[in-house]
Amino acid sequence: MRRLLTIVARKVPSKKHRWSHCMDQFNLLSYCLYEEATKFDGLISRILKFKGHYKEYKKYCVKKDIQVLEELKELILQQIEEVKAQRDGQPFSKSGEWPVERCYCLRDLEWSTQTDFGTQAKKQTTFGKTIITWHLATTVCYYLENDQSEGTVTYPQSEMSKNLSDYIMYLLAMQPDMLSIVIGLFSKMN
C-alpha cells in the first residue's frame, strides 16, 4: 500500500504554485468594438449568432490575460494598508465610499456610493452598474492620459488602474458568481 501511495503521490501536481501571476482582462469597449479579423471568423460568428451563442464567443475573443507586475502587487498591498489605517476598524457603510472619500471627491461622486438598494437583486444590479460605470471612466481616462499613438504609457499608475479595472470587468462579465460572494459578504458586514 505504501508503495502505491508513493507512486500516486509523485503523479499529483505540487501545490507550491497556487497562483499563475497572471490576471484575466476584459475591456467593455473592446467588446463593443470587436470585429472579426478573417472571413472564417465571420462564418463562425454567423453560425454562433444563429445558435444564440455569439455573445459568449465574442467575450472569449476579447478576453486576454497579463502578467501581474510586482509594482501592482505592492500598490495593492499599500492601498489596503492605507484604507485599513484610515478606517480604523469602522465598518463599510456604503459601497465604494472609502476610495472616493480618500481622493477628496465624495461630494462630487456621492451618486456612485448608493445605499438604498431595497432588495438583494437590486443591490447586485446596482453593484454591477457601478463596476461598469467606473470601468468606462477608467478606460476613458487611461486613453486621455496616455499617448496611444506612440504606444507609450505616460503614467504607470494609470496602466495599473486599467489592468485592475479590466480584471474587475472580467469578473463581472465572465465570472459573476465570484462577485456575488463579495456582495453577500458586504451585506453581512452592514
pLDDT digits (tens, 9 = 90+) for 79-121: 888 877 877 777 665 566 666 666 666 667 666 666 555 655 5
In a domain, 74, yes or no: no
In a domain, 26, yes or no: yes
In a domain, 155, yes or no: yes
In a domain, 92, yes or no: no
**Domain tally, the chain:** 1
Give phi and psi for 108, each to the nearest 5. -75, -30
Instruction: Provide the whole-model pTM.
Output: 0.72
pLDDT digits (tens, 9 = 90+) for 53-77: 888 888 888 899 999 989 999 988 8
Is pLDDT above 90 for 25? Answer: yes
In a domain, 127, yes or no: yes
In a domain, 88, yes or no: no
In a domain, 104, yes or no: no
> Residue 175 to residues 160, 169, 178: CA-CA distances in angstroms?
21, 9, 6
In a domain, 3, yes or no: no
Closest residue by Cα to residue 131 from 58, 28, 55, 23: 28
Average pLDDT over residues 151-177: 85
Residue 25: give the domain boundaries: 20-67+116-182
Q: In the structure, what pLDDT confidence band is assigned to residue 176 with cuts at 50, 70 and 90?
A: confident
